[in-house]
A and B are shown apart, each in its own frame.
Chain A
Amino acid sequence: MTLPPHAPDAPVQPIFELIEVEQVFEVPKPGRPLFSRETVGLRALDGVRLSIRKGTSLAIVGESGSGKSTLLRVLLGLDKPSGGRALYRGKPIGEARARGTGFARDVAMVYQDARGSLDPRMTIGAIIAEPLRHFNIVPREGEAARIAQLLDRVGLPADAAERFPSGLSGGQVRRVAIARALASEPSVLVADEAVSGLDVSTQAQLLTLLQSLQRDMGLTLAFITHDLGVASYLCEEIAIMYLGRIVETGPTDAVLKAPVHPYSAALRAAAPQFFEPLSEPLPGEIPSPLDLPKGCRFSTRCPVAQSDCQSKDPQLGKLGSGRAVACIHPITQA
Chain B
Amino acid sequence: MSIQTPEAPTTLPPTAAPDTANRSRRSVFVRRPFFTIALIVAVAYLVAAIFAPQVAPFDPVQQDFNVMMQPPTVGHLFGTDSYGQDILSRVIYGARFALIIGIFAVLIGAAGGLVIGLAAGLSGGGSEWALMRLIDAILALPSLILAVAFIAILGQGVDKVVIAVGLSMIGPFARTVRGDVLQVRVQLFIEAAQLMSIPYLRVVWRHVLPNVIFPLAVQVTIRISEAILVSSSLSFLGIGVTPPTPDWGLMIAEGRDFVSFAPWMSAMPGFALALLLIALTIVGDGIREEFDPKLRKDP
Interface range on chain A: under 10, 10 to 19, 20 to 34, or 35 or more? 35 or more
Q: Indicate if B193 sits at the interface (CB-CB under 8 A).
A: yes
Q: Which residues of A contact B297 (CB under 8 A)?
A: 166-167
Closest chain A residue to B211 by CB distance? A121
Q: Indicate if A92 sits at the interface (CB-CB under 8 A).
A: no
Q: Is the CB of B214 within 8 A of A121?
A: yes
Stretch at the interface among A7-15, A60-68, A96-104: A96-104
Residues of B with Cβ closer than 8 Å to A? 1, 3, 5, 7-13, 15-16, 187-189, 191-193, 195-198, 206-207, 210-211, 214, 293, 296-299
Q: Is the CB of A184 within 8 A of B196?
A: yes
Q: Is the CB of B3 within 8 A of A76?
A: no
Q: Which residues of B contact A135 (CB under 8 A)?
A: 196
Please pick, from B15, B187, B193, the residue contacting A116 in the complex, using a CB distance under 8 A.
B187
Between B191, B210, B293, the greatest number of chain A beta carbons within 10 A of the residue's beta carbon is seen for B191
Q: Is the CB of B196 within 8 A of A157?
A: no
- A157 with B10, Cβ < 8 A, contacts A121-B214, A166-B298 known: yes
Closest chain B residue to A111 by CB distance? B188
Q: Which residues of A contact B206 (CB under 8 A)?
A: 119, 130
Q: Which of A89-137 contact B (CB under 8 A)?
A: 97, 100-101, 103-105, 109, 111, 113, 116-122, 130-131, 134-135
CA distance A184 to B278 in the complex (A): 53
CA distance A166 to B299 in the complex (A): 9
| Shortest Cβ distance from residue A186 to the other chain B in the assembled complex, whole angstroms | 10
- Total A-B residue pairs with C-beta atoms closer than 8 Å? 99
**SS of B interface (majority):** loop
| Shortest Cβ distance from residue B191 to the other chain A in the assembled complex, whole angstroms | 7
Residues of A with Cβ closer than 8 Å to B? 76, 78, 97, 100-101, 103-105, 109, 111, 113, 116-122, 130-131, 134-135, 154-157, 159-160, 163-164, 166-169, 172, 175, 184, 201, 204-205, 207-209, 229, 232-233
Q: Is the CB of A159 within 8 A of B211?
A: no
Q: 5 closest pairs, A vs B, by CB?
A: A155-B8, A104-B197, A116-B188, A204-B3, A117-B188
Please pick, from A118, A163, A201, A233, the residue contacting B12 in the complex, using a CB distance under 8 A.
A163
Closest chain B residue to A177 by CB distance? B192
Please pick, from A97, A116, A155, A229, the residue contacting B189 in the complex, using a CB distance under 8 A.
A116
Closest chain B residue to A209 by CB distance? B8
CA distance A244 to B117 in the complex (A): 40
Q: Which residues of B contact A100 (CB under 8 A)?
A: 197
Q: Is the CB of B299 within 8 A of A121?
A: yes
Q: Is the CB of B10 within 8 A of A155?
A: yes
Q: Which residues of B contact A97 (CB under 8 A)?
A: 197
| Shortest Cβ distance from residue B120 to the other chain A in the assembled complex, whole angstroms | 22
Q: Is the CB of A169 within 8 A of B13?
A: yes
Q: Is the CB of B298 within 8 A of A167?
A: yes
